[in-house]
Structure 1
Amino acid sequence: MTEEEVATLAATVAVKFAAREASKATMEKLKNEQKKERQAWYDKRLYNTKLLLRNYRMLNAYVNGAVYEESDSEEEESAMQILDLMCAEAWRTDDVEVASIKKSAVRTHILMDHVNSMLGLYRVFCEQSSRPEDLRRWRVISGAYIEEPERSFAEMACEEHCEIRTIQRDVKYAIEKITALLFGVDGLESRNNVQ
């Protein structure tokens, strides 16, 4: 083999090696970006679950007090479509026009029916669990967000004979579980299991 052939072969090997390494780096970067996108999507859902719970009493009062007539001619949205809209960036920008009161009332009613159903499921799961902390988690979520009057974490810690930090952990854990119920499989990802 001549020096020229050796140089050509070495250059070919170097180009193939560089291409393979560049391909690996690109694939790794794509995986990381996808992981970040999935985490961002989950974070939006988690944020929306917290938002729905913090405003639960007010939204329930709105649904019970809203005056509107349902019409068969209106396009029906599902709870999942409304929840997906909440996760969309357009929801928080000026791109979305202010909805009419009628449409807002219908959407809120559909959404709250879904939220109430999923909270009911969560309650049943907690009540049927053999772990006492699950039932405590339901009592904490209910006291903090659902029942009237609202109870503080300090009050619930005293009632449950535990530290405030335990109540805070219970809320975090319960909200993750409620997110899974509200959003289905899209609500299952968390920081610990996103791969």
Structure 2
Amino acid sequence: MHKEEIEEVVKIAAAEVLVRREEIIKDEYDARYQDVKLLMKNYRRLKIYYAKVSPETLEVDTIFSMRRKTGLMMSHVDNMLSAYRAMCKEALTPDEARRWDALYMRYIGDERLSVDTIAEKLNIDRRTFYRDISLAMEDLAVLLFGIEAIGARKNKK
């Protein structure tokens, strides 16, 4: 191969990497967002699982390891939910402040309320509820996954 041919191949490969990079970043952001949604949808179950499965009843190391990982993750999630609650309650706009209430009523509180019930309690329409939840999930992705979520979030816009 001649030097010019090698340079052309390198240019094409570099351009492909740059194009693919944006796609990878978007995919990572989408995956984190979906992870947060799945986590919130299963929040109550995970809390119950961790509370009900005692180490004394476990005989298989793998199950114990899963319980430990679940406990560590739920502790982190609870800490970040507390931080998010404080951020929302201290927010300057009612929209930001309302996000915690929507998230709590839908995923965290003892009883999972319907979208219509939550919208009625918060005096908003369904579209506003879904927008609030979507923004809350984005905020939680940043809290849960840190700087990587910020970079992916910035590149999504």
SS of residue paired to 1:105: helix
Residue 51 of structure 1: aligned partner: 38
Amino acid at match of 1:166: T
Are 1:42 and 2:42 an aligned pair? no
How far off is 1:25 after superposition?
3.8
Number of aligned residue pairs: give it. 153
Residue 157 of structure 1: aligned partner: 119
1:180 to 142, 149, 155: 142
Higher Cα Rg, which structure: 1
Instruction: Calculate percent identity across the aligned residue pairs.
Output: 30
Structure 1: gaps spanning 5 or more residues: 1-14, 70-97
How far off is 1:51 after superposition?
1.0
Q: Decide whether the 8 Å contact of 1:179 with 1:187 is kept in 2.
A: yes
Residues of 2 paired with 1:101 and 1:174: CA distance? Answer: 32
State the TM-score, normalizing by the size of structure 1: 0.70
How far off is 1:35 after superposition?
1.4
**Using a 3 Å threshold, how does the CA distance of structure 1 residues 68 and 171 change in structure 2: closer, same or farther?**
same
Are 1:28 and 2:21 an aligned pair? no
The ranges of structure 1 where at least 4 consecutive aligned residues each deviate by more than 6 angstroms after the TM superposition are 18-21
1:169 to 124, 131, 155: 131
How far off is 1:29 after superposition?
1.4
Amino acid at match of 2:107: Y
SS of residue paired to 2:146: helix
Are 1:140 and 2:140 an aligned pair? no
How far off is 1:26 after superposition?
3.1
Residues of 2 paired with 1:53 and 1:99: CA distance? Answer: 27
Residues of 2 paired with 1:112 and 1:138: CA distance? Answer: 18
How far off is 1:58 after superposition?
0.5
Residue 102 of structure 1: aligned partner: 64
How far off is 1:190 after superposition?
4.5
How far off is 1:99 after superposition?
7.1
**Using a 3 Å threshold, how does the CA distance of structure 1 residues 112 and 166 change in structure 2: closer, same or farther?**
same
Residue 4 of structure 1: aligned partner: none
Residues of 2 paired with 1:158 and 1:150: CA distance? Answer: 14
State the TM-score, normalizing by the size of structure 2: 0.86
Residue 125 of structure 1: aligned partner: 87
Superimposed CA distance per residue, residues 111-139 of structure 1 (whole angstroms, 9 cap, x where no aligned partner): 10000000111001101111111111000
